[in-house]
Amino acid sequence: MDGARAGAVAKIAAVKTVTRFAPSPNGHLHLGHAYSAILAHDLALADGGEFLLRIEDIDGPRSRPEFAEEFRRDLEWLGLEWTEVPAQSTRIGSYHAAADRLIAAGMLYPCTCTRKDIESLGARRGADGLIYPGTCKGRLLKPGEPAALRLDVDKAMAALGELVWTDEVTGASVADPREFGDVVIVRKDLPASYHLAATIDDAADGVTLVTRGADLFAATHIHRILQELLELPVPHWHHHELLLDNDGRKLAKRRGSPALSQRREAGENGLALAEQLRLQQMQSGT
C-alpha cells in the first residue's frame, strides 16, 4: 500500500466501522461462519463502513488455497460484498518484527516443553487447553534453537497495569490473562500464533470492530495485552453467540456440520439462508 492510500484508509478507519471475517482455509465453512460473516458485513454496512475478508493461512501445512477460493464463492452466494486484504502468509515479515520487539522488551521466553511434559506437571485446564505452569520462564533464547516463544503474562501485566477493553454486547472488561497463562505467541513450527498474527493484522487493516464468535472471547484478553505491548490502536469487539446443532452442541467442522459449499452446490438459495440467519441474529440480539 502506498502512503496516500494508507492515509486514506486511516482516515476512513477513524470515522467508519471496519469489520472483518477471517477464516482459516483448513476446512469448509459451516453455518456458524455464515452467521459470523453476515453479522460483520451488516455491522460495517450499517454506517457506511467497510467489510474485509482476510484469509488466515499461516498454518502452512494445513492451509489449502482451494478452501480460500471456496470461501469467496460461499460469501458471494450469501449475497455479501467485501474487500479482500492480503492473506496472512504474505505478512510474515510483520510477525517477525513484532516478535523481535517483544523479545527485546523481555516479554517472551523460549519453551521446549512438549504437551506431555505440561500434562505431567498437573497443569490446570484453561480457555484453550492446559495452562502452562511456567517451567521455562526466565530462560534465554539461544540463537537457532527450535523453541516456542511464550508471553510472560505476569511481567506484561506488571508493566502495563490495568487494561480495559470493550465488547459491544457485554460491555467493558479488564484484561485478565489467567485463562491462558503464558500463552504461546510464536509457535515452534510457525512464524506466529493466531493471537499475534490476528492482533497485528487487525491493526494493519484498520479494523475498528472485531466481530467473531463468543468462543474467542477469552482470547481477547491476550490480544488487548499484545496491542498495548506493541502500541497498536485498540478497536472494539463484538463477540456473538454461537449457533448450536440439534444436540445443543457448538457447530464444528469436525462433527460434520454441513458445509456451506455443500448446501450451495445442492442448489439451496443463499440469499434466503442469509435472511434466515439475520432473523436469528435479531432474536438473539448478538
Residues that bind ligand GLU in the complex, under the rule CB under 6 A: 22-24, 56, 198, 212, 216
Dihedral Cα 231, 236, 239, 240, nearest 10 deg: -150
Query: H-helix or E-strand containing 34?
Result: helix 31-46
Cβ-based nearer residue to Zn ion, 11 or 188 = 188
Residue of 9, 92, 103, 136 interacting with Zn ion (CB under 5 A): 136
Cβ-based nearer residue to ligand GLU, 220 or 274 = 220
Q: Which three cell numbers stand for residue 271?
A: 440469499
The entry of Zn ion, ligand GLU, none near residue 185 (CB within 5 to 8 angstroms by kind) is: none
Cβ-based nearer residue to ligand GLU, 32 or 110 = 32
End-to-end Cα distance, the chain = 34
Least spacing, CB of residue 26 vs ligand GLU, in Å: 8
The entry of ligand GLU, Zn ion, none near residue 12 (CB within 5 to 8 angstroms by kind) is: none
CA 161 remoteness from chain centre:
24
Closest CA to 260 of 243, 273, 275: 273
Site for Zn ion in 92-131 (CB under 5 A): 111, 113
Least spacing, CB of residue 135 vs ligand GLU, in Å: 28
Q: Could you please report the per-residue DSSP string of 87-114?
A: PGGG-HHHHHHHHHHHHHTT-EEEE---
Cβ-based nearer residue to ligand GLU, 71 or 109 = 71
CA 28 remoteness from chain centre:
17
Cβ-based nearer residue to ligand GLU, 23 or 206 = 23
Least spacing, CB of residue 73 vs ligand GLU, in Å: 17
The entry of ligand GLU, Zn ion, none near residue 273 (CB within 5 to 8 angstroms by kind) is: none
Distances, alpha carbon 60 to alpha carbons 89, 92, 212, in Å: 8, 12, 23
Q: Residues in the site for Zn ion, rule: CB under 5 A?
A: 111, 113, 135-136
